[in-house]
Chains A and B, each alone.
Chain A
């Protein structure tokens, strides 16, 4: 490990002076770093954990490298073994100090807090000192920076994706600004700050070192210019673009292109913007390519330089993507803004159907399956979960998709506007008849909806005639292990609630239109209609019994 370390001075007080200088530089850089971090945090209204994160970033990736640079001749050169040790210590200390109980303790005890800051700063200074001092062995710096970046990234990811608050103590700490974000949002923000800045600082430094290294090597062995003969006028050749545009001809039942809510409309607008921008950039590339292949030598000379690489490969994407990202952030914010009288519905994905539960003011739980009725103009929040495997709820006309994951509840918020029927289907492969796990959403005017929900609150209708009565007997004898019908003793929970099944438009999740004959067909042949679905086929009924059973079920309105 070669380092331009100063020769040991012979003056008697050199050691003292050196120590003083180190202390002074440390104090000044730390003070400036922390002051800046606090000012920034105050200006942005950061929560306590985010502020803490900004403080640490100020210490580790601002103050420490500056101090390391200023003190580069004062600190001892790093040995090979010392390098490994300092990299490990740097990573280890970050993780150790941020284990929740440790950090909570550090937040309450001042001595511990100071110890944390001092140790982090010190290890940071030694880390950057080692990196700066590496010289020709730069590959080790790249490996160290990559590892450090990866480990900090993993830590940040834990903060971002944690579904709960990890640091109880921080909520009451002295770091909090007035009116700052707290709780889980603060924790996510802290994780993101770390995710954005920390690894970027290390990774970017790694890339910068790699780049400088490559450039140095290039300088050391310069490439002699090649006297490749300039090309004569190239033959012209036409580039055919086999682009086919095929919109239309598709039904609008389940299409992204036929939105029925402001959320889906905004996404469609975004889609058009993306297509327009994408086409423009694509054409630009194609024109450049065509000119490069067939243009005259004057045109080609313009394209042949490094300038087009920096302009087209760096400047263009940076400008375009920054604008696009800002627009995307604005869109996401608009989506989150819905509020007011929100209707709550729980949708549980099950192999291979959707269990729908309305949380109604009057009747607390109204259960249905594969069909959701909504009131036009009223915001709705779907609480999505799953009983078995991962499913994904997607009705393109209303909103983008959200996964239904066992053990979690995901929310989906939108406001249906246009009354009508919209189809959707499971978008995360869930095994077996995943292709047949469809549903429909029926958006109704307020009056129609009020009428419908009133009917829905009632228990099931009693069988109207003898045939239906016979059907009910059969039903109660053999179907109630899985199915429930409110108002009867049928309380099975494995399959769909059938209280008002006769009002639903389809059977088996969009497999068959609702009718008495189709109910009978479903009972006897569902395995060929929807292979491997979890309902067994019942083929032992006489034709008469089957008809009675189907009539009873069809009459459940």
Chain B
């Protein structure tokens, strides 16, 4: 540690924010507040490095479990008319293989990587909502384990991972398997959305000063697009799972053709989620490759800006392609041509990335390390998968190969090539940051060779198997069709691939020990911030970044950062904290205070997971009790958020004091609530689409108004008036916030009135529907009308709780004109709910009148 004068810093940078020597005890204080809990309390840990490793590890375990299921299937299919697995066992296993790989491995592992890497990469101490991250992890880990264990109880779903009704309706899939899928996956989706909100805010608000958007690592760009896509795509699936579960449990016929539903509605909603899902998985992996290759080549990424635009464009376009999963459902030919063209167009952004990587490799000398090998393997396999993707975008060809082993081969090329190979590259590349020893290069090369060869042997062959006529999802086939040899080759290839994976597992068990000290460090001479000297708190001080490749451009950066020359070298508020910067130009705005480890979020995840399990197996009362316990846990957890401005301003650099609290659009809570509103909006848009879609398919179940089968007009009007009143009341409550220390009894009263209005509006709507003689199980029209009430009801429950919470905080003296985040976020959600409620009334009561002759 040298005490160099500031003049030795790079000229572009000027003097350092902080001078040396640092005051005694500063580093010790930093270490103290970030101390990792030990023993049983380590379960309460919320630090992103620790939770991130758990998260990645759990996802990797699910990858291995899903892989074992795949091997079972390969063994069953190795020879014709095999009897290793029964028909029912095979059906459960392929359903679980797809579901586990998609929902318990691919999406979570990407999110986990974001949790683990982003704060380090962006120069933050932690993500903005560490307990939410930990909650998302626990929800996923507990829920996922329960979901997987259904296999051992013969309770597993067997409807295929896309769960097409009517096969998955209560008529054709009695038993709890499908319910477990719907509730389990729905629960894990919620965890994924929570993670996505966290990641967006982390990327936009906690970047190190100077790291403008154009200097942001590509991986962060990819994660930003990823999280945005999760927010728009997953709600469609959540709505679909709600509808199917309600249909199964209460007989509301959304997908039953005889009662005005339509099985194709599920397919639209599912693929509206499902197609973006593929890119959701692929984009972060591609982002990681864009990090690894420049390091291995020792030269900057070629076409950075073009790649960013490609990522963003992929995000936009992927929402317009869903129909290409439905070419065989008898859609109009013209529309097929359109979606065919759109599907091909999306290969342009992928092409840009492929050639940008090749150009990057050419701009230096590629060191053939294990991460580089996996990257090259990725490039080759993914290119092939992309090319077969163009093939299946051709409608006539797709009609032949759809749902055959050709498609199985195609999407494994895209998913294993596009996501698993990059993941292994990432494991070898990034473990030195968190472990004391790097993984073995020699074993890694063996693993790569086995995986690459095994993969191609197994899956290239499947293209031919598909063209030879073998459909997917068959547990057996007769010998005379001649598929035996091809299947045997695939099975051998799969075993070779598995051997490669096993070597990596062995190497990980042997070498990888998560540690806070004696870390390997910057093994590859990589240029990005995650390679700075690291501890649980991230870097000692938060650097000022002047380029895309700070460790290459600022050679002294590691020493200076470690010495505490940059921002926030200590813990001035006496607790965990990180620096919040502005979204675009990363001006330091305030010091974001972060929570300490605790139990409530762990309990919340635990209770909620078991509540979902209880509901899935029809244990309603225990389900409700567990749900209530989960809500209590969450309220306890939320109680010490919104700490208020009591710490005043603190110094993060010499002469630079920033506040420790922010409200309104500057605060991260405000951002989180806006994102949550977007999630709600995306879900509601899916509902609106479903409503009108079913009307176009089955107008006969919309009532003839001359017969008077909808509620009289005064009820929706009264409901609307109450909604508006409730909105104004909450708005008015904002003017009633007391000065710090003061009391304003009108505040709780107004909030209570608002909540009562909200509940009353909902109840009146519900009563009006009932009194008009509508039964939700009668037809899709009635079911959709009640669904609007149900969706609104969810918000009303949430807001009633929120109102009570705000009142409680007022009573406890934790709410005033300065400390008002709780009120502000509640207000935002309230506004959204009023808007959604009014839209719902307009559709449910207005549209039938419009088409039924009642106006």
Cα distance, A253 to B548, chains bound together (Å): 59
Among B345, B395, B400, B553, the one with the most A-chain Cβ atoms within 10 Å of its Cβ is: B400
The answer to whether A377 has its CB under 8 Å from any CB of chain B is no
Known: A192-B338, A432-B87. 11 other contacts (CB 8 A): A101-B851, A160-B332, A163-B696, A207-B309, A224-B12, A308-B355, A331-B396, A332-B333, A406-B166, A423-B469, A423-B481
Nearest to B221 among chain A residues (CB) is: A214
3 closest A-B pairs by beta carbon, nearest first, are A400-B399, A407-B257, A231-B365
Query: CB distance B214 to A321 under 8 Å?
Result: no
Interface flag for B547 (CB, 8 Å): yes
Alpha-carbon distance between A520 and B84 when the two chains are bound, in angstroms: 27
Report how far A394 CA is from B405 CA in the complex, Å.
Answer: 14
Binds B, one of A19-27, A54-62, A242-250, A363-371: A242-250
Q: Are A285 and B363 in contact (CB under 8 A)?
A: no
Kindly supply a per-residue 1/0 record for chain B positions 311-352, scoring 1 wherever the CB is within 8 Å of any chain A CB and 0 otherwise. Answer: 011001101100000001111111111101100110110011
A57 to chain B, nearest CB (A): 15
The size of the chain A interface, using a CB distance under 8 A, is 143
- In the bound complex, residues from chain B placing their C-beta under 8 Å from that of A403 are 328-330
CB closest chain-B residue, reference A305: B359
**Is A206 an interface residue, CB under 8 A from the partner?**
yes
A428 at interface (Cβ–Cβ under 8 A)? yes
Q: List 13 A-B contacts (CB under 8 A).
A: A162-B696, A221-B215, A228-B552, A244-B460, A254-B481, A255-B468, A289-B361, A309-B302, A314-B352, A317-B347, A328-B395, A405-B264, A425-B471
Query: In the complex, which residue of chain B has the Cβ closest to the Cβ of A278?
Result: B387
When the two chains form their complex, are residues A306 and B696 in contact, meaning their CB atoms are under 8 A apart? Answer: no
B330 A411 Cβ-Cβ under 8 A: yes
Contact (Cβ within 8 A) A431 B359: no
A295 within 8 A of B: yes
| With contact pairs A288-B358, A431-B173 given, residues A321 and B345 touching in the complex (Cβ less than 8 Å) | yes
Interface residues of B in 813-855 (CB under 8 A from A): 847, 850-851, 855
Residue from the list B355, B404, B681, B850 in contact with A102, Cβ < 8 A = B850
Q: Which residues of B contact A329 (CB under 8 A)?
A: 337
Q: Which of A199, A243, A328, A432 contacts B460 (CB 8 A)?
A: A243
Residues on the A chain within 8 Å of B360, using CB: 304
Q: Are A312 and B460 in contact (CB under 8 A)?
A: no
Write the chain A residue with the least CB distance to B10: A224
Whether A196 sits at the interface, judged by CB under 8 Å, is yes
CB-based contact B399/A309 at 8 Å: no
Q: How far is the CB of A509 from chain B (nearest CB, A)?
A: 12
Q: A399 with B358: in contact, given A151-B685, A313-B352, A321-B344 (CB under 8 Å)?
A: no
Given A400-B328, A401-B399, A435-B474, decide whether A196 and B469 contact each other with a Cβ distance below 8 A: no
Q: Which of B114-165 contact A (CB under 8 A)?
A: 158-160, 164
The one of B86, B303, B483 that contacts A306, using a Cβ cutoff of 8 Å: B303
Chain B 231-274 near chain A by CB (<8 Å), digits 1 or 0: 01000000000000000000000000110001110001000000
Interface membership of B480, Cβ < 8 A:
yes
Asked whether any CB of chain B lies closer than 8 Å to the CB of A107, the reply is: no
B467 contacts A256, C-beta separation under 8 Å: yes
Q: Which of B331, B338, B469, B474 contacts A434 (CB 8 A)?
A: B474
Interface string of B375-396 (1 = CB under 8 A from A): 0100110011001101100111
Chain B interface (Cβ within 8 Å of chain A)? 12, 86-88, 91, 158-160, 164, 166-167, 172-173, 212-215, 232, 257-258, 262-264, 268, 298-300, 302-306, 308-310, 312-313, 316-317, 319-320, 328-338, 340-341, 344-345, 347-348, 351-356, 358-366, 368, 376, 379-380, 383-384, 387-388, 390-391, 394-404, 452-453, 456-457, 460-461, 464, 466-469, 471-478, 480-483, 485-486, 489, 546-549, 552-553, 583-584, 681, 685, 688-689, 692-693, 696-697, 699, 847, 850-851, 855
Cβ of B362 and Cβ of A313 under 8 Å apart?
A: no
Residues facing B in A191-235 (CB within 8 A) are: 191-192, 195-196, 199, 203, 206-207, 210-211, 214-215, 217-218, 220-221, 223-224, 226, 228-232, 234
Query: Cα distance A332–B329 when bound, in Å?
Result: 16
Shortest C-beta distance, A300 to chain B (Å), equals 4
Q: A274 touching B394 by the CB < 8 A rule?
A: yes
Q: A401-B399, A405-B329 are in contact. Are A431 and B257 (CB under 8 A)?
A: no
Contact B308 A293 (CB under 8 A): no
In the complex, the chain B residue whose C-beta lies closest to that of A274 is: B391
How far is the CB of B172 from the nearest CB of chain A, in Å? 5
Residues of A within 8 A of B685 (CB): 150-151, 154
| Given known contacts A99-B850, A207-B312, A267-B399, A431 and B258 CB-to-CB distance under 8 angstroms | no
Q: Which residues of A sit under 8 angstroms from B485, Cβ to Cβ?
A: 246, 249
A476 within 8 A of B: no
Give Cα distance in the complex from A261 to B347, angstroms. Answer: 32
Least CB distance from A266 to B in Å reads 7
A160–B486 Cα gap in the complex (Å)? 41
B329 surroundings in chain A (CB, below 8 A): 403, 405, 410
Q: Which residues of B contact A189 (CB under 8 A)?
A: 334
Answer whether residue A532 sits at the interface, using C-beta atoms and an 8 A cutoff: yes
Q: What is the bound-complex CA distance between A390 and B461, given in angstroms?
A: 28
Closest residue of chain B to A396 (Cβ to Cβ) is B469
For B482, give its contact among A195, A250, A292 (CB under 8 Å).
A250
Q: Are A192 and B334 in contact (CB under 8 A)?
A: yes
Q: Are B312 and A267 in contact (CB under 8 A)?
A: no
Is the CB–CB distance between B309 and A210 below 8 Å? yes
Query: Which residues of A are interface residues toward B (Cβ below 8 A)?
Result: 99-102, 136, 139, 146-147, 149-151, 153-154, 157-158, 160-164, 166, 185, 188-189, 191-192, 195-196, 199, 203, 206-207, 210-211, 214-215, 217-218, 220-221, 223-224, 226, 228-232, 234, 237, 239, 241-244, 246-247, 249-251, 253-257, 264, 266-267, 270-271, 274, 278, 281-282, 285-286, 288-289, 291-293, 295, 300-306, 308-314, 316-318, 321, 324-325, 328-329, 331-332, 335-336, 351, 384, 388-390, 392, 394, 396, 399-403, 405-408, 410-411, 423, 425-436, 510, 531-532
Interface centre among B212, B215, B395, B399 (most CB of A within 10 A): B399
With beta carbons under 8 angstroms apart, the residue of A147, A224, A246, A392 that contacts B328 is A392
Give the chain A neighbours of B478 by CB distance below 8 A.
Answer: 510
Q: Which residues of A contact B87 (CB under 8 A)?
A: 432-433, 435, 531-532
Alpha-carbon distance between A306 and B300 when the two chains are bound, in angstroms: 12
Closest B residue to A510 by CB, please name it.
B478
For B159, B173, B467, which residue has the most chain A Cβ atoms within 10 angstroms?
A: B467
What residues of chain A lie closer than 8 Å to B387, measured between beta carbons?
278, 281-282
Give complex CA distance A31, B482 in Å. Answer: 67
Count CB-based A-B contacts (< 8 Å): 398
Q: How far in angstroms is the closest Cβ of chain A from B745?
A: 31
Q: For A428, what are the chain B residues with a Cβ–Cβ distance below 8 Å? A: 164, 328, 403
| Neighbouring B residues of A303 by C-beta, 8 Å | 358-359, 362
Would you call A293 and B482 a contact (CB within 8 A)? no
Contact at B358–A267, with CB atoms within 8 Å? no
Chain A: minimal CB distance from B362 (Å): 4
CA distance A153 to B338 in the complex (A): 13
The residue from B214, B546, B547, B692 contacting A214, defined by CB atoms under 8 A apart = B214
Partner of A157, one of B268, B299, B308, B397: B268
A56 and B632 CA atoms in complex are apart in Å by: 52
Interface pair B333/A336, CB less than 8 Å apart: yes
Q: Is B258's CB under 8 angstroms from A407's CB?
A: yes
Of B298, B331, B340, B681, which contacts A161 at CB under 8 A? B331
Q: Chain A residues with Cβ under 8 A from B395's Cβ? A: 328, 332
- With A390-B164, A410-B329 known as contacts, the answer to whether A224 contacts B553 (CB < 8 A) is yes
A253–B480 contact, CB under 8 A?
A: yes
Contacting pair A285 B549 (CB below 8 A): no
Output the least CB separation between A62 and chain B (Å): 21
Please give, as numbers and ranges, the residues of chain A lying within 8 Å of B310 by CB-CB distance.
313
B734 to chain A, nearest CB (A): 16
Closest chain B residue, CB of each to CB of A293: B366
Interchain nearest-CB distance for B610 vs A (Å): 29
A215 contacts which chain B residues (CB < 8 A)? 305
B172 pairs with A247, CB closer than 8 A: no
